[in-house]
């Protein structure tokens, strides 16, 4: 009898990857069909939960037909019930214990990945089992590998060549920078077949992208806008997509892609595996997840809105005119370390970059007015260390994965509080430490309160004192033209209308 099987799961899956360490022939039965396990890391077709709560599987060693369901060796034959226990979290210390095949484990090791992160520990086994996954985790926690490993394994197992214009897998990302980052992260995982991957984003030739799709591809990594353009030209057909990933889905909602996502969902077949990952979970995400996912496993490594623990945060209360000088003084204390400065507008970010350049800093800027080539060159220079300060709008809040960014400055506080979480997630990546400094003017006190409410933190004061709450939104005045407010600034109550007197009872 082969030794006891062991799975690398901490949740009950629909399917498992198991290791068979015996050369003896064996088969595993389901209620109707049968499937064989003949070599290491084959897919186990069906698993049930026994009366004692343990995962169980029917195992036949050299027996061609099912026998009675017994809990131990049957005197009539070699029929056994084997218990498959779910591995404890402390047992899952490497990718092999998650059920990842040996060749993929070797590829991960070559890329310097040997110990899975918490999101990878929970998402990879569930995805390998065929389940839809809804993953919530901070930025910089390894979400790309969490969906990349099962995705590449599934695409690599597909037979034949892709049909022209018809990809087998699709990854949607909100920005060009993030899409490019995903393609780069998946490169070591492509395997011996060298799965074909096409990047479909704006700022590049749409005809060249259509030409690559016409030759047939395994995987498309796209932004929703450019993918919709290609769908409108009938240059891509999504009916054969069986592997779908939505990365940073909440930012796609923030950027107004909700209608594009629904149109893309309508073009897909329902029999697919979908993985949706996000760092935050706004209310609109619930309906989006329902339209894409089927009975998903929800994995919440950290509560939505929680910031990275290794980031040291502080807020500086300054006036609008003091912001630039304050930033120069702070940057001057660490000229040899990388820093990202986030602004709110394209014009303001470009103006700030020119001021910092005049102060002697090696600086570059990326925003919507920059061409794709200019943005790519700026990021390459920043990664290479030729540029130490990168001034950016929120187009770069996700997608920049540079481990040694030590400082993030919120020169302007974002209007959407969740964006603050994504901004400061550019530092303290891969277990490193970092610092996040926010500037707050009197007009931005409302944004600061919203950020602290979402993150559940009171950000320590690094300079100045909190401004008075004079920026509370005022309610519209009533029809009488007055301010509509009573004593001590409280809204005045409307006078109650008197009810008409009740009619006398006829019987009275």
Beta-carbon contacts of residue 37 (< 8 Å; ≥ 6 apart): 18, 20, 26, 27, 28, 44
CA distance 84 to 82: 6
Strands 405-410 and 338-342: parallel
Mean pLDDT, to the nearest integer, of 204-230? 96
Contact 134, 281 (CB under 8 A): no
CA distance 475 to 473: 7
Helix/strand/coil for 365: strand
**What percent of the chain shows pLDDT beyond 90?**
48
Beta strands in 228-335 (DSSP E): 243-247, 273-278, 297-300, 311-317
Q: Is the dihedral of CA 172, 382, 367, 317 positive or negative?
A: positive
Q: Using one digit for the tens of pLDDT, what is the confidence trace for 303-334? A: 555 566 778 999 999 999 999 999 999 999 99
Residue 209 and residue 289 share a domain = yes
Q: Which domain covers residue 439, as residue numbers?
A: 311-463
Residue at 469 is within a domain: no
Residue 348 and residue 454 share a domain = yes
Mean pLDDT, to the nearest integer, of 2-12? 32
Residue 353 and residue 263 share a domain = no
- Closest by CA position to 56, among listed 84, 33, 34, 78: 84
CA distance 118 to 140: 12
Q: How many domains does the chain have?
A: 3
Binned at pLDDT 50, 70 and 90, residue 250 comes out as confident
Neighbours of 336 (CB within 10 A): 7
Q: Is the dihedral of CA 378, 382, 388, 393 positive or negative?
A: positive
Helix/strand/coil for 441: coil
> Residue written as tokens 């949740």?
11
Which one is predicted more confidently, 87 or 31?
87
Residue 453 and residue 378 share a domain = yes
Contact 182, 144 (CB under 8 A): yes
Residue 186 and residue 272 share a domain = yes
Beta-carbon contacts of residue 275 (< 8 Å; ≥ 6 apart): 123, 127, 132, 133, 135, 147, 150, 151, 244, 245, 246
Residue at 500 is within a domain: no
Beta-carbon contacts of residue 262 (< 8 Å; ≥ 6 apart): 291
Domain-ending residue, one of 22, 57, 89: 89
Beta strands in 27-132 (DSSP E): 27-29, 34-36, 43-44, 48-49, 55-60, 79-84
Residue at 344 is within a domain: yes
Beta-carbon contacts of residue 171 (< 8 Å; ≥ 6 apart): 147, 151, 179, 182, 219, 220, 221, 222, 244, 245, 246, 247
Mean pLDDT, to the nearest integer, of 32-61? 37
Q: How far is CA 433 from CA 304, 309, 426, in A?
A: 21, 9, 11
Which one is predicted more confidently, 498 or 474?
498
Would you state the pLDDT for residue 431?
64
Residue at 502 is within a domain: no
Would you state the pLDDT for residue 89?
47
Residue at 481 is within a domain: no
> Residue written as tokens 């006891």?
4
Helix/strand/coil for 501: coil
Neighbours of 471 (CB within 10 A): 15
Binned at pLDDT 50, 70 and 90, residue 288 comes out as confident
Helix/strand/coil for 164: coil
- Closest by CA position to 392, among listed 372, 409, 373, 417: 409
Contact 239, 164 (CB under 8 A): no
Contact 108, 94 (CB under 8 A): no
CATH number where 353 lies? 3.40.50.300
> Residue written as tokens 């009740």?
502
Q: Which of 92-96, 255-259, 287-291, 370-374 has the lowest mean pLDDT?
A: 92-96
Binned at pLDDT 50, 70 and 90, residue 357 comes out as very high
CA distance 112 to 181: 17
Residue 325 and residue 181 share a domain = no
The gap between the terminal CA atoms of the chain, to the nearest Å, is: 94
Would you state the pLDDT for residue 430?
62
Contact 40, 155 (CB under 8 A): no
Please check the confidence at residue 266 and state whether its pLDDT lies above 50. Answer: yes
Mean pLDDT, to the nearest integer, of 193-199? 91
Q: Using one digit for the tens of pLDDT, what is the confidence trace for 83-97? A: 333 344 444 578 988
Please compute Rg for the chain using Cα positions: 28
Would you state the pLDDT for residue 500?
54
Residue 285 and residue 376 share a domain = no
Binned at pLDDT 50, 70 and 90, residue 286 comes out as confident
Residue 368 and residue 245 share a domain = no
Domain-ending residue, one of 22, 55, 89: 89
Residue 144 and residue 114 share a domain = yes
Residue 223 and residue 188 share a domain = yes
Binned at pLDDT 50, 70 and 90, residue 142 comes out as confident
* Kind and range of the H or E run holding 87: none
Residue at 346 is within a domain: yes
Q: Using one digit for the tens of pLDDT, what is the confidence trace for 154-189? A: 999 988 889 999 999 999 999 888 899 899 999 999
Residue at 472 is within a domain: no
Q: Using one digit for the tens of pLDDT, what is the confidence trace for 55-69? A: 444 333 332 223 323
Contact 434, 428 (CB under 8 A): yes
Maximal CA-CA distance, the chain: 99
Residue 250 and residue 161 share a domain = yes
> Residue written as tokens 């894409």?
292
CB-count exposure of residue 229 (10 Å: 0-12, 13-18, 19+)? middle
Q: Using one digit for the tens of pLDDT, what is the confidence trace for 434-473? A: 999 999 999 999 999 999 998 888 999 999 999 875 444 4
Domain-ending residue, one of 89, 109, 144: 89
Residue 156 and residue 47 share a domain = no
Please check the confidence at residue 101 and state whether its pLDDT lies above 80. Answer: yes
Q: Using one digit for the tens of pLDDT, what is the confidence trace for 396-416? A: 656 677 778 999 999 999 998
CA distance 231 to 396: 26
Residue at 282 is within a domain: yes
Please check the confidence at residue 494 and state whether its pLDDT lies above 70. Answer: no
């Amino acid at each position: 009898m082969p030794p006891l099987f062991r799975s690398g799961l901490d949740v009950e899956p629909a399917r498992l990857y198991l290791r068979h360490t015996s050369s003896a022939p064996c088969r595993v039965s389901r209620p109707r069909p049968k499937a064989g396990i003949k070599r290491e890391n084959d897919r186990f077709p069906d698993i049930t939960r026994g009366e004692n709560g343990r995962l169980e599987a029917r195992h036949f060693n050299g027996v061609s037909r099912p026998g009675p369901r017994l809990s131990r060796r049957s005197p009539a034959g070699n029929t056994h019930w084997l218990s498959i226990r779910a591995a404890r979290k402390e047992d899952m210390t490497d990718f092999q214990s998650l059920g990842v095949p040996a060749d993929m484990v070797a590829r991960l090791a070559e890329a310097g990945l040997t110990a899975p992160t918490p999101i990878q520990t929970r998402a990879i086994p569930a995805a390998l089992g065929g389940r839809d996954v809804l993953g919530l985790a901070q930025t910089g926690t390894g979400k790309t590998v969490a969906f990349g490993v099962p995705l590449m394994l599934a695409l690599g197992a597909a037979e034949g060549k892709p049909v022209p214009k018809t990809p087998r897998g699709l990854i949607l990302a909100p920005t060009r920078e993030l899409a490019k980052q995903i393609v780069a992260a998946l490169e070591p995982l492509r395997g011996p077949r060298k799965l074909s991957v096409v990047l479909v984003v704006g700022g590049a030739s749409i005809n060249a992208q259509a030409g690559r799709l016409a030759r047939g591809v395994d995987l498309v990594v796209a932004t929703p806008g450019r993918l919709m353009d290609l769908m409108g030209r009938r240059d891509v057909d999504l009916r054969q997509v069986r592997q779908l990933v939505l990365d940073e889905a909440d930012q796609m909602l923030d950027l107004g892609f909700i209608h594009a996502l629904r149109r893309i969902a309508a073009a897909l077949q329902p029999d697919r595996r979908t993985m949706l990952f996000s760092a935050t979970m706004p209310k609109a995400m619930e309906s989006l997840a329902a339209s894409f996912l089927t009975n998903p496993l929800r994995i919440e490594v950290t509560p939505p809105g929680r910031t990275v623990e290794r980031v040291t945060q502080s807020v500086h209360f300054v006036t609008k005119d003091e912001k630039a000088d304050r930033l120069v003084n702070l940057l001057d204390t660490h000229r040899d370390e990388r820093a990202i400065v986030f602004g709110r507008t394209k014009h303001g970010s470009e103006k700030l970059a020119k001021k910092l350049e005049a102060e002697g800093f090696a600086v570059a800027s990326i925003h919507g007015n920059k061409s794709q080539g200019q943005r790519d060159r700026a990021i390459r220079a920043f990664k290479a260390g030729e540029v130490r300060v990168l001034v950016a709008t929120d187009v770069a809040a996700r997608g920049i994965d540079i481990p040694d960014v030590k400082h993030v400055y919120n020169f302007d506080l974002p209007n959407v509080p969740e964006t603050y979480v994504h901004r400061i997630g550019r530092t303290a990546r891969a277990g490193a430490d970092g610092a996040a400094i926010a500037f707050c003017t009197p007009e931005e006190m409302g944004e600061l309160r919203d950020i602290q409410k979402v993150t559940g933190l009171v950000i320590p004061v690094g300079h100045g004192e909190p401004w008075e709450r004079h920026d509370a939104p005022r309610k519209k005045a009533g029809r009488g033209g007055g301010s509509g407010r009573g004593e001590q600034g409280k809204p005045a109550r409307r006078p109650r209308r008197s009810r008409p007197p009740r009619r006398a009872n006829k019987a009275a």
